[in-house]
């Protein structure tokens, strides 16, 4: 577990895959910088697990997915060759983008050993607000309206603890103190931010909960209809602005047959002997 290189003036850091996210954030903190990723269990999760499983948290809406923070990576192929994809600079358009391919591949195409990230300065201020709705349709209508404004939320989530109403929309803003206050005021959330936290996401992923967490991706415009049609769901958190749904309960089916077939073809090309097994965070 180590920080291989850190160039704070260039906003880049290179770490080994076995480094935990919490350790990396701690290393960046003295320079008021951070890697804007917030999956659950940062003290346990390693950077390799986060990259392999493409894990993200509530701030995904504003800061993007794991792929968007990676500049380069070193990986060991199934045949033992070491390769490097990308470059440790901000702008690079040379060669195939294997970084994006390997991210989320669960280690089935290559074993990621080292990753170079683009980091960011920490925002001066960050606040969250929440609004509760009686139906998922009303909640999603609020999300759609907010998504068409000039506001730039970093968090736009929908969650429910028991698979039924009421439904809570969480909105987060980051930036200067003035920017955050103005955006909260525009959404009418200025009075609601003090007690709002992102612990609903941690609760969904808590190891004490029963059953696995399933993932379903849909168009944001189809979010309300998809959730309304789900049955046997005990808890749900949706990245409402992205159309990504995480839930516990009965598997609703992901409809990923075409993607699964494509992954099988990639697996055959990168690991014909099937040496690499899928990992789970």
**What is the pTM assigned to this prediction?**
0.86
| pLDDT of 31 | 97
Q: What pLDDT is stored for residue 160 in this prediction? A: 87
pLDDT < 50 positions in the chain:
190-194
Contact 1, 20 (CB under 8 A): yes
CB 24 within 8 A of CB 17: no
| pLDDT digit string, tens, across residues 155-176 | 999 998 776 678 999 999 999 9
Whole-angstrom Cα distance, residue 231 to residue 1? Answer: 43
- Positions of CATH 3.40.462.40 in the chain: 125-249
For residue 6, what pLDDT is reported?
Answer: 95
Structure tokens at 159: 């969650």
Q: CA–CA separation, 237 vs 148, rounded Å?
A: 22
Q: Please state which architecture CATH assigns to domain 3-121.
A: 2-Layer Sandwich (3.30)
What is the model's pLDDT at position 66?
94
Residue 48 CA: distances (Å) to CA of 66, 91, 104, 215, 221: 11, 23, 10, 20, 32
What CATH homologous superfamily does 125-249 map to? FAD-linked oxidase, cap domain/gating helix (3.40.462.40)
């Amino acid at each position: 577990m180590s920080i291989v290189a850190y160039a704070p003036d260039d906003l880049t850091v290179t770490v080994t895959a076995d480094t935990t996210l919490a350790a990396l954030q701690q290393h960046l903190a003295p320079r008021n910088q951070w890697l804007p990723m917030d999956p659950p269990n940062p003290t346990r999760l390693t950077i390799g697990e986060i990259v392999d499983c493409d894990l993200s948290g509530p701030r995904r809406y504003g800061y993007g997915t794991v792929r968007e923070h990676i500049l380069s990576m070193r990986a060991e192929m199934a045949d033992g060759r070491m390769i490097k994809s990308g470059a440790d600079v901000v702008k690079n358009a040379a060669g195939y983008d294997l970084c994006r391919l390997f991210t989320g591949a669960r280690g089935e195409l290559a074993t990621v050993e080292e990753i170079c990230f683009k980091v960011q300065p920490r925002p001066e201020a960050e606040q969250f607000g929440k609004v509760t709705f009686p139906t998922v349709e009303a909640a999603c209508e609020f999300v759609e309206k907010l998504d068409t404004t000039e506001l730039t939320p970093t968090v736009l989530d929908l969650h429910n603890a028991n698979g039924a109403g009421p439904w809570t929309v969480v909105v987060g803003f980051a930036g200067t103190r003035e920017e955050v206050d103005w955006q909260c005021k525009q959404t009418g959330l200025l009075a609601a931010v003090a007690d709002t936290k992102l612990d609903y996401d941690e609760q969904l992923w808590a190891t004490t909960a029963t059953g696995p967490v399933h993932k379903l991706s849909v168009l944001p415009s189809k979010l309300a209809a998809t959730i309304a049609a789900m049955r046997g769901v005990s808890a749900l958190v949706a990245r409402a602005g992205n159309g990504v749904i995480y839930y516990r309960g009965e598997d609703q089916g992901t409809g990923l047959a075409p993607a699964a077939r494509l992954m099988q073809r990639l697996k055959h090309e990168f690991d014909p002997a099937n040496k690499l097994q899928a990992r789970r965070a």
